[in-house]
Amino acid sequence: MPISRQTRNARLVLLLLLLCAFPLPHARAANSDVVPIRWAAFRGGTAGDVDSLRVRAILVNANRYALTTWWKQRGWSRQRDAYLSLGGTDEAHIRPPASEAFALAISLKTGAYDPRKTGVPVAVAKERTLRLVRSLAYRHRANTPGGWGDNWQTALWASSAGAAGWLLWDELSPTDQRFVQRMVEHEAHRFRKYRPPYYRTRAGSIRFPGDSKAEENAWNGRILQLATAMMPKHPRKEIWQEAMIALMLSAFARPADTERTDELHGRPLAEWLNGSNAESNGSVVNQGRTHPDYFTNVTDNVHAALLYTLAGLPIPEAAFFNADVVYAALVNQPFPGGTIYRPGSGEIRYPEGTRWGEKRRMHFALFDVQARAFGFDRKARRRGAYWEPLHTQTVLSMQQRSKDGRTYLTAAEDTYPGREEWVADLAAQAYLTRWLANQGRYAVSPQPKFPPLHPAPMGEES
C-alpha cells in the first residue's frame, strides 16, 4: 500500500526531531588529515603527590579567573552570534583567548577542572571553551577574509588555539573541525622555506644587537609541532618536520655548536646551524640585557614532548637540545651579584633588570617541572625537584591573595597586559607535563631523520 505524502512528511519531521534531540557524535571531519587523541590510552589518572596537587591548584585558580572575571570583562556573555567577535586581529585580541582556550581544554580533558572551586559547572566551562576555539579558528584568515594571521607572532597564537581544538576535537562540528585544521595548516605552511634567524652569525658577528632570536624561533616551532602531531600522515608532514627541527635546534644553539660534527636527526649539527642564539654559558640576551625570562623559552621546544606524547608518537630529540645547559645557567651561573635562582627562596634575581616586572614566576615554575620530568636538570647544582616547590608555591601564594583566582594585584608586578592568560597557559603546560609523566608514556627518539645538506646548512648566511 503506497505511503501518502502527508505520512512521508510526518515521518521526515519525526526523523529531524530525533536527530536534533540525539545528535550523532562528531567524527573526523570529511577529508580531514587530523588524527584525534586516543584518550582511552591514558589510564594513569591524576597524580596525587603534593607537587602535582599544587600545580593543579594553580591551574584551577586560573580557570576560575578566566570563567568569571575575565569572561565578564570581555563582554562575551552578551554576545549571541555563533562565533564571538574578538574585537580585533592583534595580539591583545587573539593571544589571550587562545591561551585561555588551551588552559581550559587541558584542565577539562585531564580531569583537573574542579567546578566546586571555580563555581562554574563543567558543562558551562566546556561550552565556553568550545566557543573560544570555534571563534578563534573561524576568525583566522584561512577561514575568514581579512581575519587574523600571517604575522610576527600569529603562529604561537594558532598553536594554542589549534591545540585546544585538537584536545576537544570530537566535540567540534565537522565545519569547525575544518576551520581548526585550516588555521593550523595555514600557519604551519608559512615555514616551509623559512630560514631561522640568528642573533650571532657563524663567524661571530652580532646581527641583532640585544635581541636574541631564541624566543621567536622556539615559539614558531610550536605550530609545526602541533601540525605534525595532530596530522601525522599529512602530505606536508616531512616538510613541516624539517622546518620544526631546524627551528628547535637554532633556538638555543651556542657558538661552539656551529662546529659540531655529531649527528642529530640525520645531519651533523654544523649542517643544521648557521649561527647561534644563546651564549656559551647557556644564557640569553634580550631587550638589551641578559634576561632570565627568555632562558625559559626552552619550554616552547619541550612543548613537542607534550603534543607528540598525546599523539602516541616518540618525542624528537631536538625538543631537548641544550635544555640542560640553559637550565644550569639559571641555577649555577654566577652573574654579577650572584645566581639567578636564589637557594631557599622563590625569588628570582634579574642581573640587569627587566621591564616586565620582577614578580613573574610561572615560566620558571614550568621550566622546573619539565627539567624534573625529562631529566635535563642533571647539570644543575640543585635539581628541579628542589626549585619546583619554591616557584610553584610563590605563584599559588600570589593567587591566594584574591577571591577570583587572579595571580597579580597590580600591573607593576607584571607589566605584560596578557599576564593572567599567560599564567593560565603555562600552568596548563606544567600540569599536562605532570599528568603525562604519571601515565608513563614519554619516549624519546632520534627520529625523524633527514639526509645531509649539500652544500650549505639551513639558516641565514654568515
Closest CA to 102 of 421, 405, 418: 421
- Of residues 19 and 65, the one with the higher pLDDT is 65
C-alpha cell belonging to residue 300: 616552547
C-alpha cell belonging to residue 80: 549571541
B/e letters for 365-385, b = 16+ CB within 10 Å, e = fewer, are bbbbbbbbbbebbebbeebbe
Question: What sign does the dihedral 114-115-118-123 (CA atoms) show?
Answer: positive
Residues 6+ apart with CB under 8 A from 60: 107, 112, 113, 114, 117, 118, 405
Instruction: Say which amino acid occupies 67.
Output: L
- Of residues 201 and 13, the one with the higher pLDDT is 201
Angle of CA points 293, 299, 303, to nearest 5° = 150
Average pLDDT score over the chain: 92
- What percent of the chain has a predicted confidence (pLDDT) above 70? 91
Q: What is the pTM of this model?
A: 0.92
CB 365 within 8 A of CB 388: yes
Domains of the chain: 5-445 (1.50.10)
- What percent of the chain has a predicted confidence (pLDDT) above 90? 89
Tell me what the mean pLDDT of segment 31-58 comes to. Answer: 92
Burial class (CB in 10 A: 0-12, 13-18, 19+), 420: buried
Residues 6+ apart with CB under 8 A from 81: none
- Of residues 44 and 37, the one with the higher pLDDT is 37
275 φ, ψ (degrees, to nearest 5):
165, -170
For 36-45, 81-90, 319-328, which range has the lowest pLDDT when averaged over its residues? 36-45
Closest CA to 352 of 296, 286, 255: 286
How far apart are the two ends of the chain, measured CA to CA in Å? 85
C-alpha cell belonging to residue 90: 592583534
Q: Is the pLDDT of residue 14 over 70?
A: no
Closest CA to 147 of 111, 182, 189, 123: 182
Residue 412 binned pLDDT confidence (cut-offs 50, 70, 90): very high
Residue 23: predicted pLDDT:
35
CB atoms within 10 A of CB 439: 14
Residues 6+ apart with CB under 8 A from 162: 137, 180, 183, 184, 187, 223, 226, 230
Residue 460 binned pLDDT confidence (cut-offs 50, 70, 90): low
User: What's the chain's Rg over C-alpha atoms?
Assistant: 23
Residue count of the chain? 462
Residue 455: predicted pLDDT:
56
CB atoms within 10 A of CB 196: 26
Question: What sign does the dihedral 85-90-93-98 (CA atoms) show?
Answer: positive
Residue 45: predicted pLDDT:
78
Tell me what the mean pLDDT of segment 250-268 comes to. Answer: 97
Q: What is the dihedral of CA 227, 231, 236, 240, to 10 degrees?
A: 30
Tell me what the mean pLDDT of segment 329-344 comes to. Answer: 96
Q: Is the pLDDT of residue 11 over 60?
A: no
Q: In Å, how far are 210, 215, 285 from 278, measured between CA atoms? A: 12, 10, 7
pLDDT digits (tens, 9 = 90+) for 374-408: 999 999 999 999 999 999 999 999 999 999 999 99
Residue 149: predicted pLDDT:
98
Residue 47: predicted pLDDT:
82
Residue 12 binned pLDDT confidence (cut-offs 50, 70, 90): very low
CB 296 within 8 A of CB 425: no
Q: Is the pLDDT of residue 305 over 70?
A: yes
Between CA 462 and CA 460 the distance in angstroms is: 6
Residue 453: predicted pLDDT:
82
CB 150 within 8 A of CB 141: yes
- Cα of 80 vs its chain's centroid, Å: 29
